[in-house]
Structure 1
């Protein structure tokens, strides 16, 4: 078996560990310490994040979508396919090196999605965009490992009561907040409900085709009136 090769490292603002971009043959991995945050062969649940949100917004014209976290582009590619030709998609990525990896060694994974005219990539904190740019039809958060994150303490502010209320305020009536997580969090479900979202918790598999570890996606709908 081919050994893993480290291609690059990146500091996480406010975090203590570095991200490591690893490659083994045609497989890529992004690691944080001993935790694998993402793998090029495990895209199913990240794709489901976009697909589930799009299903609840079916028929909405000119949807505006905000994605928190670029990663390996799985959610972005699925959003491009699911939301259609009239969508506008903004992706906020905190770590500039991750954007550089997408255009460099990970280009075979990303394909042509970064050059799609519907897409804007912003190097910055998705929380800042949520606070200053309301009017999104969907906010898709694939940041850290979810509400029980591991990379930086500041990410918790996306998932606490104040952060959830900010997301709700940034959504249009009937808009969807979709949150990816590597595992369950009953307390987060309660926080979403307390923030005023009609909340559904969906279990999905890490691999496409219903295989691999079980991940969680929360779907929170903002009231239409």
Structure 2
């Protein structure tokens, strides 16, 4: 999940189902005056974990999760950096969190052999298959991609291998905002040392585990260093709305 996180101050029109969806581009270009554009709801659904919605302001696409502005198509550098951290070519990749599809599409551009994307919000996967945005539609239609509705934590278990595949050359976790600012409290367990160790155990020899965080997280880095003493912190500087800040990626490698 992405961007400057705050409760949305502007309401959006409720919609339901997949009927009447508008297909929009997602080049991320901000039209003059578009920050003041009234949001247009592209898709909305209630899930057991809360509300999920796609909306647009001009050419900008936004993802709303559980009432929180999660990310948009204006600033996607860290999503692409997450894909790049898997290496080139990235081989077989497991991605926790679909978002607006920027990480998955970058993996495809980088030559991934296969991409398994797991997201708790099944409607978001349905909207990708329906092509509600161009990028999500491109990801869903690529034969190398498999979309799975479910809890990414369940994929860490070795017992899941017979039904879920693996091992993977890279596991990329972007299921929330990192341990410092959770949209869903239940995701806290994904960042635990036990869970991170289990994900690392699903890697092929020499594979990488990369975790996205909305800000630098020393505890997360320390947890990964228990798995790989050379685990890295990769800062992605961003300037937005007159502010400068860093997103962070944390990468650990399984021995070859």
Normalising by structure 1, report the TM-score.
Answer: 0.84
SS in 1 for 2:75: coil
Corresponding residue for residue 127 of structure 1: 153
Give the distance between the partners of 2:114 and 2:245, measured in 1 at CA.
31
Is 2:106 the counterpart of 1:81? no
Deviation string 1:13-46 (CA, Å, 9 cap, x unpaired) is 4x4x533322212211112466421102221100
Shifted more, 156-165 versus 108-117: the winner is: 108-117
Runs of 5+ unmatched residues, structure 1: none
What SS class does the counterpart of residue 110 from structure 2 fall into?
helix
CA distance in 1, matches of 2:137, 2:121: 20
Larger-Rg structure: 2
Q: Conserved in 1, the CA contact under 8 Å of 2:105 and 2:135?
A: no
Q: Residue 57 of structure 2 aligns with which residue?
A: 24
Distance 1:191 1:94 in 2: 24
Counterparts of 2:71 and 2:198, CA distance in 1: 27
Assess if the C-alpha contact under 8 Å between 1:140 and 1:178 holds in 2.
Answer: yes
Which protein has greater RCO, CA pairs closer than 8 Å, 6+ apart?
1
- Change in Cα spacing, 1:160 to 1:23, as seen in structure 2 (3 Å) is same
Do the aligned partners of residues 111 and 8 (structure 1) sit closer, same or farther apart at CA in structure 2, a change above 3 Å counting?
Answer: closer
User: How many residues are matched?
Assistant: 212
Q: Where do residues 2-17 of structure 1 align in structure 2 (5 Å cutoff)?
A: 2-11=37-46, 13=48, 15=49, 17=50
Counterpart for residue 151 of structure 1: 183
CA RMSD in angstroms, aligned pairs only: 2.3
Matched, 1:136 2:171: no
Q: Is the 8 A contact 2:129 2:141 kept in 1?
A: no
Q: Could you list the per-position Cα deviations for residues 39-81 of structure 1 after superposition, in whole angstroms to 9, with x for gaps in the alignment?
A: 02221100110112124xx5x7xx2210001110000001111
| Alignment counterpart, residue 112 of structure 1, candidates 134, 138, 143 | 138
